Structure 1
Amino acid sequence: MTDKKNLGRVSLFLATLIWGVSFVLMDLTLNSVPALYILAIRFLGAAVILLAVGARELKKIDRGYIRGGVVMGVILLAAYCFQTFGLPLTTPGKNAFLTSVYCVMVPFLYWFIIKKRPDKYNVIAGVVCLAGIGFISLDNHFAIGLGDGLTLICGFLYAVHMVICGAVVEERSPILVSMLQFAVAGVLAAIMALIFQPAPTHIPVSTVWVLVFLTVMSTALCLSLQIFGQKHTPTAQASVIMTFEAVFGAATSVLFYGETLTLRLVIGFLLTFAAVLISETKLGFFRKKATAASAKETITTESETVELNQTGGNNP
């Protein structure tokens, strides 16, 4: 069991690392392949891979699977479109951090849908997140750039996708649901690509390998790693690990993309990261530490009292 827990944590870290690197790879790929063609290749390729993995479970597919797969596929494609079209208009690091705000948005969406009020940690996270977005995106005229704006819409759609995913996946195979949503997103992306964008005439070999990486590693493998990792890792720990996707994205952008880190951008990144941590963990780690310290102090005090009683202590 301990080995599975450790492997679960490693799986989540690996998934976040691959996703973080993918922000820069996507930006580079857009130089030679139109966005919709990239999405079509990624989603259809991932659907085929998951079809091979979950072939034995195909008999489980019913109307519920199909309905959920269609809804999730449409929303997933919309989110990726906003993210991918926003990426060339901003930087991979900003794109990564602004995308991560979906974690903060989810509780407020639940409030809107099922009337469940966000707790105080969600509210605090929302305020901190807004401050982080301001430092990252607002210019001297307090306006948000087009690329950052598109990325924020992407973050909202990811939050919607997560809420719907929670309802669809319940008592259903995650592999089958993912396969169906990838298939729907891939087919729609291919149709839109043929209608709205010119087909790429020359794709460099290096770009082909990047597309293979994005399809196999960033889409199909990372999903499997996430599912396995979350199954064998406590929710609070899994949430903390998943927030590092934005950190890896920003680090890769600085190291390999040449993004310049200004003080204002660093503050924005730190605030956004803190907001996600607050929303996902509710500062459980610090509260547990405080509880443990209080318990230790109580035990020490009781031990001293017993010792004083045994030796006469300060009795007159």
Structure 2
Amino acid sequence: MRKYIGEIGLLVTAVIWGTGFPVSAIALDYFSPYQILAGRFVIGAVLLGVVFYKKILNLSKSVLLKGGLLGVFLYGAFAFQTVGLQFTTPSNNAFLTAVNVLIVPFIAFVLYRRKVSPFELVGAVLAMAGIALLSLNGTLSINPVDVLSLMCAVFFAFHIFYTGQFVRKEDAITLTLVQMTVAAVIAWIVIGVKGEAALPITTASATSLLYLGVFSTTLAFLLQTVAQKHVSETKAAILLSMESLWGMIFSILMLREIVTGQMIAGAALILLAILLAETKPSFLVKRKIRKSIL
């Protein structure tokens, strides 16, 4: 079990993010998208600061710089996703955002000349196809402003990639704390400029925002950062693509969405992508060793 601690952590993260889809839909009845971002990041920063306050006293310059960069990537990804939703359909936005699963391995190859497992590449393509089936109803019509959603994918890809890079040398908790704080500061500057700093707090609105802040932000990103210490960046992107599958499942359970054959096919492709990335390399290695012995 300990051998798969990274995979388990990322799968749990995907489940938590999946629950965030219907909860976000509920929160949007009370808050603007930018207010939700500001609220969830502040909750995350405060919770992490309270629980791990001793680590704040020992923050190194390296952690501040790396965590700060992750915070910029994190807020940038959510901001482009939010703005993109104003100009395209939710299905297009979800699909184009998920392109990050294909971008991550190319970042590794282009910037660091790192070889990527062919099985992870095939898994990334399969995951992308599965997400397309889950997200798109009919045809994908691209318009010029969809580049905003693609920019969201780029930011998420860099966030996943550099989280994997940084967590190998830095403490996962302090990296998460710093990036959450930076994202919160940026978020509150944005809603201050937009004149949306007054949050409409009621019991219902507070419940949805607290869930997004505590689970979908604090717990999920802490789990992601810790888990990526044990998993390659490309495999992490594939495992996190399960967010779409769990988003579908919880939307069916909580919002009573109708199950279609297209949804089932998309879910199957994502599961196949994960199985391929996880098991096929080890199978071929064993087969190669067997041949060399013979």
**How big is each residue's C-alpha offset from its partner over 1:80-108, in whole Å with a ceiling of 9 and x where there is no partner?**
123344568645x8866765543332111
CA contact (8 A) 1:46 1:219 kept: yes
Structure 1 199/149 Cα, relative in aligned 2: closer, same or farther at 3 Å?
Answer: same
Q: Which moved more, 1:16-25 or 1:261-270?
A: 261-270
Deviation at 1:241, TM superposition (A): 6.0
Match of 2:216 in 1: 218
1:193 aligned to which of 175, 184, 191: 191
Structure 1 269/98 Cα, relative in aligned 2: closer, same or farther at 3 Å?
Answer: farther
Deviation at 1:244, TM superposition (A): 3.3
Match of 2:156 in 1: 158
Is 2:183 the partner of 1:177?
A: no
Deviation at 1:61, TM superposition (A): 1.7
- State the AA in 2 paired with 1:283: K
2:104 aligned to which of 103, 106, 116: 106
Within 2, Cα distance between the matches of 1:81 and 1:221? 20
Structure 1 197/260 Cα, relative in aligned 2: closer, same or farther at 3 Å?
Answer: farther
- State the AA in 2 paired with 1:63: K
Is 2:38 the partner of 1:40?
A: yes
- State the AA in 2 paired with 1:70: G
Is 2:61 the partner of 1:63?
A: yes
Deviation at 1:5, TM superposition (A): 6.8
CA contact (8 A) 1:134 1:268 kept: yes
CA contact (8 A) 1:46 1:216 kept: yes
Is 2:278 the partner of 1:281?
A: yes
Task: Show the 5 A alignment for 1:266-305.
Answer: 266-275=264-273, 278=276, 280-281=277-278, 283-284=280-281, 287=284, 291=287
Q: How many residues end up aligned between the 2 structures?
A: 290
1:244 aligned to which of 242, 245, 266: 242
Match of 2:165 in 1: 167
Deviation at 1:13, TM superposition (A): 4.9
- State the AA in 1 paired with 2:77: A
Unaligned segments of structure 1, at least 5 residues: 296-316
Deviation at 1:215, TM superposition (A): 0.9
Deviation at 1:147, TM superposition (A): 9.8
Q: TM-score, normalised by structure 1?
A: 0.72
CA contact (8 A) 2:102 2:125 kept: no
Is 2:8 the partner of 1:19?
A: no
Deviation at 1:160, TM superposition (A): 0.6
**How big is each residue's C-alpha offset from its partner over 1:116-142, in whole Å with a ceiling of 9 and x where there is no partner?**
3434324434544564566544854x5
Within 1, Cα distance between the matches of 2:23 and 2:176? 23
Structure 1 34/79 Cα, relative in aligned 2: closer, same or farther at 3 Å?
Answer: same
CA contact (8 A) 2:41 2:184 kept: yes
Structure 1 150/21 Cα, relative in aligned 2: closer, same or farther at 3 Å?
Answer: farther
CA contact (8 A) 1:39 1:189 kept: yes
Q: TM-score, normalised by structure 2?
A: 0.77
Aligned-residue Cα RMSD (Å) equals 4.0
- State the AA in 1 paired with 2:280: L
Matched-pair identity in %: 28
CA contact (8 A) 1:29 1:207 kept: yes
Q: Which moved more, 1:129-138 or 1:119-128?
A: 129-138
Within 2, Cα distance between the matches of 1:98 and 1:277? 23
Larger Rg: 1
Deviation at 1:77, TM superposition (A): 0.2
- State the AA in 1 paired with 2:278: T
Within 2, Cα distance between the matches of 1:19 and 1:147? 26
